[in-house]
Chains A and B, each alone.
Chain A
Amino acid sequence: NAGVTQTPKFQVLKTGQSMTLQCAQDMNHEYMSWYRQDPGMGLRLIHYSVGAGITDQGEVPNGYNVSRSTTEDFPLRLLSAAPSQTSVYFCASSYSIGGHEQFFGPGTRLTVL
């Protein structure tokens, strides 16, 4: 099993550009989530999904969109990149919501100029 995979590993954008961060898992997990990690702030939840076709906002959703058309894939879209979105982004999956072990991808380091 590959676990949770994320692409790309690194990305540089200019302000106003859009892009999609890809996330896939092969563990048949129902719960998937996106976090951003900034120095001194831990991980903050952006969006999450409890199953295919169901998504909801987390703590810091502004400027990001998600969709969940399949159990395996959970892409994160930046609509119009801003320097404040410079961060490391992690996708995670778990069996279900509610305290199960979360399996994290290797992260995407995004810089917005």
Chain B
Amino acid sequence: TQLLEQSPQFLSIQEGENLTVYCNSSSVFSSLQWYRQEPGEGPVLLVTVVTGGEVKKLKRLTFQFGDARKDSSLHITAAQPGDTGLYLCAGVNAGGTSYGKLTFGQGTILTVHP
């Protein structure tokens, strides 16, 4: 089973600050997805990164896929209270019996205070 270590587990910051969430693995993934989850709801896809070294931007959110496709980061610039939520990374397994299935990180609970 491939593992995906996500850090930090909790992040509490003030509005306007920047932050970075990391996902790391010793395994190669064919792609990596980032989801955001609100309390009482299911996760919603933010972005998928596919190519090693790829960088995608979604307004104030910047997603990067590592060159070796083993790690990824999410950077939020000038965080706002509306960014509060649970952020999950999910690697798409590249081969073997787990091909195509998702391996989720543990999640990062982000709280942005006004």
Contacts and interface: CB of A to CB of B under 8 A. Distances in A.
Interface of A: 4, 33, 35, 40-45, 48, 58-59, 90, 92, 97-99, 101-102, 104-107
A106 B41 CA distance: 5
Contacts of A41: 106
Interface of B: 1, 4, 6, 9, 30-31, 33, 40-45, 48, 50, 88, 90, 92, 99-102, 104-107
A41 B1 CA distance: 14
A93 to B, nearest CB: 11
B47 to A, nearest CB: 10
B42 A42 contact: no
Nearest to B107: A42
A88 to B, nearest CB: 9
Nearest to A9: B40
Given A42-B106, A44-B104, A99 B42 contact: no
A107 B42 contact: yes
Contact of A45 (B48, B92, B101, B105): B101
B41 A107 contact: yes
Contact of A98 (B9, B44, B90, B92): B92
A35 B90 CA distance: 13
Contacts of A43: 43, 88, 90, 102, 104
A32 to B, nearest CB: 12
A48 B93 CA distance: 15
A35 B6 CA distance: 18
A99 B30 contact: yes
B100 A99 contact: yes
B43 A104 contact: yes
21 contacts: A4-B42, A33-B101, A42-B6, A42-B105, A42-B107, A43-B88, A43-B102, A43-B104, A45-B102, A58-B101, A59-B1, A90-B42, A97-B99, A98-B92, A98-B99, A99-B31, A102-B33, A102-B45, A102-B102, A104-B42, A107-B40
